[in-house]
Chains A and B, each alone.
Chain A
Amino acid sequence: MYVAVKGGERAIENAHAWLAEERRGDISVAELSVAQIREQLGLAVNRVMAEGSLYDPDLAALAIKQARGDLIEAIFLIRAYRTTLPRFGASAPVDTGDMACDRRISATFKDLPGGQVLGPTFDYTHRLLDFKLAAEGETPDAPRRDAEPGPVPHVTDFLNREGLIEEALHDDTTPPDLTREPLEMPADRALRLQALTRADEGFTLSMAYSTQRGYARNHAFVGELRIGTVPVEMEIPELGFAIEIGEITLTECETVNQFKGSETEPPQFTRGYGLVFGQTERKAISMALVDRALRWEELGEDNVGAPAQDAEFVLYHADNIQATGFLEHIKLPHYVDFQSELELVRKLRREVEASQEQHREAAE
């Protein structure tokens, strides 16, 4: 129950003024610019774009500054801004096979057309704090080597000559959109993928990890992981043809999963799919594992009752803005609710005491 009360205005204004001061921190330390955040905290920017579900690095950097580095708060700011934008339309599905790859690796096949390209990765670093970064200094240019132009096909495309991997058949069904229609069960795969790509990274990681530990284990290998840029093309109605309206960085993960076959499907490798805005590798791998676990029904697998198989549980708890909105609202004034609860407990207590009194009298 909500009741309007007055009297907090001055306290709120002063709290916000102090927030601004704390955000700025010690003024003898140079202020952080939005461009610095965009350029130097790129992976935080990427996470905010992915979970904020809006690709705009400058806005994500601004949100991170405003939120004092609280990424969920920053995602909240981006989601709120997003709702103010008129939508001009939907793009043609991006062609990730045509990606200009910064990174492209396969854990399943060593020698693949296009090669194993590590890109700017944390892998193989020793995870030792680098105190050189605490001092200002120049970064040397990264080495270069002639790039051999040529296609970098998806691993699953050229692997599937034997037909041992489940195919993702071309389809042009208009997908459902959870930003326009509330998420309802049962959710088809397109809707699940939309929910997962904007889902909280930590939640998605933990659900994926639970499948690896044995809760609906699906024996995933990273068939391919690629990070790079793709153009985004959209049909322009007033022109009557499609143009590229921009270019975005994406992380794509395809898992190949062992599958013994079911009543409806032959033994083969099945697939899980992750596609996320920005360089967001942990999230994309997690998404692919969770996507695969949620496909149990269409593949005719048993529901072993694992959390990662439960679409309703996963999808309704994956959104950190919904979750934090509901969680944090309980700290806001509930004085009247609490007053009535207090009255109720007092009444119950009186009744219990009265009945104890009666028992005592009866015993005497």
Chain B
Amino acid sequence: MKDTIDQKPDRKAWMSLMAKAPEGRVAALLDAALPRPTFTWLRAPEIGSVMVRGRAGGTGAPFNLGEMTITRCALTLPSGEVGHAYVQGRSKADAEAAALVDALMQTGAVNVMQAKVLETLEQEATAQRTKRAEKAAATKVGFFTMVRGED
């Protein structure tokens, strides 16, 4: 099932963004952007796991850390574009929405998808990340020396 579409470097970015989106978010943004096109399943949504690996000492030899849940699917639009999704968690609806956006990004709807779905997801993810980083920054220790006991 190798894709025939050009492997745009952007595609990695948008698929990654949708994989990490909060539950239900991609579907909500997609439905707000345009009516869903019809499609045919190439691979109906399937829940499975991925073994996550780490490295000994952070940089050494890989080891198996444990699994995470993943839902994947693939579909094709009547015009032939193929959409894939691998999303974190067990939501088949989220996988379907992500695969539809992936397919629509290869059509004339690219600008609508970019503006109404992906940019919003990106902004929300950035806001969330910034908020946590700012809370962390507020707990950063500012050491100062009170007395030096050299005498």
Q: Are A238 and B54 in contact (CB under 8 A)?
A: no
The interface size bin for chain A is 35 or more
Q: Is B148 an interface residue (CB 8 A)?
A: no
Q: Are A88 and B53 in contact (CB under 8 A)?
A: no
Cα distance, A202 to B116, chains bound together (Å): 49
- Given the known A-B contacts A90-B64, A198-B66, A238-B2, are A119 and B56 also in contact in the complex, defined by CB atoms under 8 Å? no
Cα distance, A87 to B51, chains bound together (Å): 8
Chain A positions near chain B (C-beta within 8 angstroms): 49-50, 53-56, 58-59, 82, 85-94, 96-97, 100-103, 110-111, 115-120, 142-149, 154, 156-157, 167-179, 189-191, 193-194, 197-198, 231-234, 236, 238-248, 250, 252, 254, 271, 273, 275, 277
Minimum CB–CB distance from A60 to chain B (whole Å) comes to: 11
Q: Are A168 and B58 in contact (CB under 8 A)?
A: yes
Minimum CB–CB distance from A160 to chain B (whole Å) comes to: 11
> Given A91-B52, A246-B89, list of 8 further CB < 8 A pairs?
A86-B48, A116-B141, A142-B138, A144-B138, A168-B58, A244-B20, A245-B87, A247-B20
Minimum CB–CB distance from A36 to chain B (whole Å) comes to: 16
Q: Are A175 and B63 in contact (CB under 8 A)?
A: yes
Q: How many interface residues does B have (CB within 8 Å)?
A: 57
Q: Are A244 and B16 in contact (CB under 8 A)?
A: yes
Q: Is B40 an interface residue (CB 8 A)?
A: no
Q: Are B49 and A85 in contact (CB under 8 A)?
A: yes
Closest to A115 in B: B140
Chain B contacts of A96 at CB under 8 A?
A: 54-55, 58
Cα distance, A219 to B138, chains bound together (Å): 32
* A239 touches which of B3, B52, B58, B87 (Cβ 8 Å): B3
Chain B contacts of A145 at CB under 8 A?
A: 134, 137-138, 140
Q: Is B136 an interface residue (CB 8 A)?
A: yes
Chain A contacts of B87 at CB under 8 A?
A: 245-246
Minimum CB–CB distance from A86 to chain B (whole Å) comes to: 4
* A/B interface sample: 7 pairs, CB < 8 A: A87-B48, A89-B51, A156-B57, A171-B60, A175-B64, A239-B7, A243-B12
* A94 touches which of B53, B130, B132, B138 (Cβ 8 Å): B53
Minimum CB–CB distance from A120 to chain B (whole Å) comes to: 8
Q: Is B146 an interface residue (CB 8 A)?
A: no
Most chain A CB within 10 A, of B47, B55, B57, B135, is at B57
Q: Are A118 and B67 in contact (CB under 8 A)?
A: no
* A54 touches which of B2, B16, B49, B62 (Cβ 8 Å): B49
Q: Is B65 an interface residue (CB 8 A)?
A: yes
Q: Are A116 and B140 in contact (CB under 8 A)?
A: yes
Minimum CB–CB distance from B87 to chain A (whole Å) comes to: 7
Cα distance, A240 to B129, chains bound together (Å): 29
Cα distance, A175 to B16, chains bound together (Å): 25
Q: Are A248 and B138 in contact (CB under 8 A)?
A: no
Cα distance, A186 to B85, chains bound together (Å): 40
Q: Is B74 an interface residue (CB 8 A)?
A: yes
Q: Are A238 and B64 in contact (CB under 8 A)?
A: no
Chain B contacts of A252 at CB under 8 A?
A: 58
Cα distance, A87 to B47, chains bound together (Å): 9
Chain A contacts of B135 at CB under 8 A?
A: 102, 120, 142-144
Q: Are B139 and A93 in contact (CB under 8 A)?
A: no
Closest to A91 in B: B52
Q: Is B68 an interface residue (CB 8 A)?
A: yes
Q: Are A85 and B48 in contact (CB under 8 A)?
A: yes
Q: Is B46 an interface residue (CB 8 A)?
A: yes
Q: 3 nearest interchain CB pairs?
A: A168-B57, A246-B88, A168-B60
